[in-house]
Amino acid sequence: MARLFLIVCSLVLSVSSVRAQENEKYAIKVASEDAIIETLYAVISGEKGEERNWELFRYLFKPESRLIPTVKGPDGVYNTQPMIPEDYIKAATDWFETTGFYEKEIFRKSESFGNITHLFSTYESFRNKDDKEPFMRGINSIQLLNDGDRWWVITIYWTPETESNPIPAQYLPKSN
């Protein structure tokens, strides 16, 4: 019985040690609203076949967080496809093997109350880092939580821009 207790204690300490190392390793990535959003876009971006840092990606989200793309069906009706972070990783990993993908935030509108923040983050997507024209644009509706120690992504709910659904001017950078 004592041996089992020592094994369990050892495992608990080992898991705690790994979590503490992750906290130290990634703390700066979740220290502010700007940092977590910058990290979110950076961690999914890369060349075709380039492995993403899924450990860091997971670190941004609470386990119960959701990523929710909207998809227009052949009948013209929009639906959602909610995923947990692990579902996104499974779906994206294969796609990133064959497709370069860089997503950049071009505009943000943020509103906060207490420890919660909602933001509309307008994005542009590129196949290569040096592309001048995006192949897609859209808006990510992102909900963040500050638990007193760090920021967490709770939800990302997004829709791409289409010809019939252009991004409104108030969510685009101002022209000089």
Class of domain 2-170: alpha beta
* Residue 105, both tokens: 């935030």
More confident position, 137 or 20: 137
Across residues 114-121, what is the average pLDDT?
Answer: 98
CB atoms inside a 10 Å sphere around CB 31: 13
Across residues 141-147, what is the average pLDDT?
Answer: 98
Distance, CA of 79 to CA of 15 (rounded, Å): 39
Across residues 120-136, what is the average pLDDT?
Answer: 97
Enter the pTM of the model: 0.85
More confident position, 21 or 66: 66
**Residue 63 backbone phi and psi in degrees, to 5:** -55, -30
Going from N- to C-terminal start, the domains of the chain cover 2-170
Enumerate residues 6+ apart whose C-beta is below 8 A from 52. 43, 44, 46, 92, 93, 96
Closest CA relative to residue 142, chosen from 47, 39, 45, 23: 39
pLDDT greater than 80 at residue 11: no
pLDDT above 90 covers what percent of the chain? 82
Confidence tier at 20 by pLDDT (50, 70, 90): very low
H or E stretch covering 135: none
Across residues 110-127, what is the average pLDDT?
Answer: 98
